[in-house]
Structure 1
Amino acid sequence: MSAAADARRAGARVEEVLDRLADSGDRAACAAAEELVRVLMEFYGAGLARITERLGAPALAPLLDDDLVASLLTLHGLHPDDVETRIGRALRTADAPVEPLGFDAATGVLRLRTAPAAGSGCGCGSGAADTTRAALEDALACFAPEVTGVDIETPPPPAPLLQIGTRPHTPARVP
């Protein structure tokens, strides 16, 4: 299993434990667990900040394409790239044929445009669109967690080409 998958699984496990504590009704235990998670995040964030300072930008650059490293740097506010650059990296990583139309920082919504699937004819793209959306959302969660929603616009398929030909010449009938 990859490090990124392990990290996602660990994050999900933390959420499960916190949810279980919240469901228990023991407010003191729930508050203590949440404080512990916050303190550990601060502790590891401080260590990560020191590592990034000592490495410097040139040594850090090759690590920015790793989804786990990028996610940790972003989570702790240490990623050197702005949100637009990280969105671009996520779109390249997802390898989805989309064009960014804009990101609204206030709502967290990223607008994208994709071309209709080649040869689909109907322009509905139902299965492909779901797969594309899932790949995009996974990549954006790692590289640009500020994106909380994705709107994908699909232009209508082009109108079919109308072939106009000439009719064979037939002599006019005389009545």
Structure 2
Amino acid sequence: MPWDAEQVRDEIVRAETLLSDLGSGLEPVAGRHAIEAVQAVVGLYGECLARLLLHIEQAGHPEVLADVARDELISHLLLVHDLHPVGIEGRIGTALAEVEDNFEPGSLELLDVQDGVARIRVAVRGCQSTAARMRTSVEEAVMAAAPELESVEIDAAAPQRSTVIPVEDLFATGRLAGER
């Protein structure tokens, strides 16, 4: 049975931890050999993936490629091999659209992606907790969609001002409409 999303994330973290710890604690030569062996296996798998994607593309099934790329684990694997069919801006845009569905339309905008940093404009009306929740949602969604990023910077835009009707105008006691 395939792993659920939580198991996938746990295994990604576990693999990254093991790989980063691979060389430490071993004899220098054994550590280098272990790293080279892992790199060779990863390289072979990358070539297999590239050929598989080429077959899918040549068969004229772009929808299959898009479906495959939406799978979180496969997406990570494609990114490791620089094979992801959707560019970073496209993946971030999709993530922002999903987050925006839970908030206000037009409240999120990708400003740019440079040097491993995505800058996002966030404009939220409402209380501090809504703004904080949106920031967290944006950061998590963008990093999940583009794990190759180093960070996400949030630029808070001034929310659009709403027109406020003075309370005294709501109650026309003793006055006729339009009378002042």
What TM-score comes out, normalization by structure 2 length? 0.69
Q: What does residue 148 of structure 1 align with?
A: 150
Show the counterpart of 1:53. Answer: 54
**Structure 1 residues 77-111: Cα deviation after superposition (integer angstroms, max 9, x where no partner):** 2222333222223333555752111112xx11111
Q: Which fold has the larger relative contact order, with Cα–Cα distance below 8 Å and residues 6 or more apart in sequence?
A: 1
Counterpart in 2 of 1:126?
Answer: 132
- Asked if structure 2 preserves the Cα contact closer than 8 Å seen for 1:114 and 1:155, the reply is yes
Aligned equivalents of 2:9, 2:167: Cα separation in 1: 58
Q: Give the fraction of aligned pairs with identical amino acids, expressed as a percent.
A: 28
Contact 2:123 2:156 (C-alpha < 8 Å) held by counterparts: yes
Amino acid at match of 1:152: I
Name the SS for the 1:28 alignment partner.
helix
The question of 1:64 aligning with 2:74 is answered no
Query: Are 1:111 and 2:119 an aligned pair?
Result: yes
Distance 1:66 1:38, change over 3 A: same
Aligned length, in residue pairs: 161
Gaps of 5+ in 1: 170-175
- 1:81 is aligned to 86
1:103 and 1:111 in contact (8 A); partners too: yes
Return closer, same or farther for 1:42/1:19 CA change in 2, 3 Å cut-off. Answer: closer
Distance in 1 (CA, whole Å) between partners of 2:74 and 2:25 is: 34
After TM superposition, the runs of 4+ consecutive aligned structure 1 residues lying more than 6 A away are none
- For structure 2, which runs of at least 5 residues remain unmatched after alignment? 175-180
What does residue 163 of structure 1 align with?
166
SS in structure 2 at match of 1:150: strand
CA distance in 2, matches of 1:123, 1:156: 16
Q: Deviations over 1:27-82 (max 9, x none)?
A: 12221221122111101111111111111152323222222222222221222233
Check 1:45–1:149 CA distance in 2 against 1; reply closer, same or farther (3 A cut). same
Alpha-carbon distance in 2 for matches of 1:94, 1:39: 38
